Amino acid sequence: MPNPTDSQISAPIVAKFGGTSLADFQAMQRCADIVINCPQTSVVVVSASSGVTNLLVELSRATLSDAQRQQALSQIEQIQQQIIAKLTLSEQAQEQINHLLAQLSDISEAIAANPSAQLTDKLLSFGERLSSTLFTQVLMANGASAVLFDVRDVMRTDTSFGKALPQVDEIKPLVVSRLLPLIKDNIVVTQGFIGADASGQTTTLGRGGSDYSAALLGEALGAAQINIWTDVTGIFTTDPRITDQARALSEISFNEAAELATFGAKVLHPSTLVPAMRTNIPVFVGSSRDPQAGGTMVRNRTEHQPVYRAIALRRSQTLVTVTSMDMLHAPGFLATVFTILAKHNLSVDLVTTSEISIALTIDSTDNDSSGRALLSDELLSELNQVCQVTIEENLALIALVGNKIDSSYGVGTKLFGALGDVSVRLICHGASQHNLCFLVADDVASSVVSRLHHQMFQLEDGAVS
């Protein structure tokens, strides 16, 4: 099997396996092979088995009936039992699993009686705690010397339940004193997604946060590389569900990958690259189903810097246009509008301005709903006091990601050539050399991406690395 490392290195490798990679016993066995075939892998970070976190979220709803609660619990148990059935568990591991399942049932009951963000995070932590216990056993069954490590001993966060902020300065010394000594003789298996605040309360880093956990641990360990094993063979030129011409990239720079993650590519959690960039640790993304197929290497400097690397698509965008004739030549309009938005804790994504109006989109990446849901009545009435407000929904944001897009010859011609008669609601070009973004109606977005992809990659020799 090709070892996805790019140099002769002796620092540890952190491997992270996502939910689909750990969905059942066969999937876990494939991950065990990957770990064992790459002896530099010292720390393994796991997600919950596929579907388990969704069931836990379901369980955290206080409105659940008793029967629904029992059903969700038994589905979670079944996922574990199907894996256990293929394993000879040590007595201790069997006890751990039983104990976790019993605790989970108790906490779900407690939430039904008295819901809180604190209990919800505790409940959500069980997916990773179960999968890490079982994956340790799978590694041991394969003859590896594996130990289970509770990441809450080192993953220090603040107390913002549901989206806790890792305290990087505290994590590093904790990792060095508590986790690092274990990797000398063992493969350490630990949980993604979860952490603990200073008083030991369990927290979570937000959905999909296991990638971020792996990067934070990699940073604290001074890892040689962070390998993110998922169900796709790397980062693609665009979502392969949109066009069958999409292909996996062999390399992409940190900056480009960060843009892609921010603008909707789902492969990596958007925060993942922050610790990797800070410490310049390459991140490999590959498929645990097909490790031979290679994957994408994300690193500081890539061999090629093509103008067009990839296209991202983010749906459910809301465009807010604020207009005020009074603001003609008057200073401070932008400041007034942004102060109101900041007061309501809204983060703005894209902005274009004219003399009397501002068009902007609301950043709703942390919300499953569209930006519209974030525009409260109070906010709108405050805005209405200083300007007219128009809201447009059902828009999609398309981002072209690459290098020197701001200054390369012919970008506009290509873009407008591919757009044909599709109308563009807003376009942002020039603020970053790595992206060009625009909004179109949601129902034409896929075909625009498809045409653009053809225009930028199929007709362009060597555009894709």
Residues that bind ligand ASP (CB under 6 A): 18-19, 47-48, 53, 127, 192-193, 207-210
Closer residue to Mg ion, CB minimum distance, 20 or 450: 20
Residue 77 vs 231, nearer CB to ligand ASP: 231
Q: Rule CB under 5 A: say whether 166 interacts with Mg ion.
A: no
Nearer to ligand ASP, 192 or 270 (CB): 192
Q: Is 286 in the site for Mg ion (CB under 5 A)?
A: no
Name 188's bridge partners. Answer: 43, 147
Least distance between ligand ASP and beta carbon 180 (Å): 23
CB of 206 to ligand ASP, least distance (A): 8
Write down the least CB distance from residue 208 to Mg ion, Å: 4
Neighbours of 66 (CB within 10 A): 9
Between residues 208 and 264, which has the closer beta carbon with respect to Mg ion? 208
Find the shortest distance in angstroms from Cβ 192 to Mg ion.
9
- Quick one: which of 195, 208, 282, 371 contacts Mg ion (CB under 5 A)? 208
Stretch that binds Mg ion, among 2-10, 15-23, 365-373, 390-398 (CB under 5 A): 15-23
Residue 18 binding Mg ion, by CB under 5 A: yes
207 binds, among ligand ASP, Mg ion, none (CB under 5 to 8 A by kind): ligand ASP
Q: Candidates 56-64, 207-215, 368-376, 447-455 — which segment interacts with Mg ion by CB under 5 A?
A: 207-215
Tokens of 350: 């894209």
Residues 399, 435 contacting (CB under 8 angstroms)? yes
User: What are the phi and psi torsion angles at 366 (to 5°)?
Assistant: -85, -5
User: How many chain residues are in contact with Mg ion, going by CB under 5 A?
Assistant: 2
Min dist. Cβ of residue 240 to Mg ion (A): 17
Q: Which does 402 bind (CB under 5 to 8 A by kind): Mg ion, ligand ASP, none?
A: none
| 318: nearest Cα among 384, 367, 391 | 391
Residue 43 or 445 having the CB closest to Mg ion: 43
Cβ-defined contacts of 360-366 (< 8 Å, 24+): 360/319, 360/320, 360/321, 360/322, 361/317, 361/318, 361/319, 361/320, 361/395, 361/397, 361/426, 361/439, 362/318, 362/320, 364/316, 364/318, 365/262, 365/270, 366/163, 366/206
Question: Where along the sequence are the contacts to Mg ion (CB under 5 A)?
Answer: 18, 208
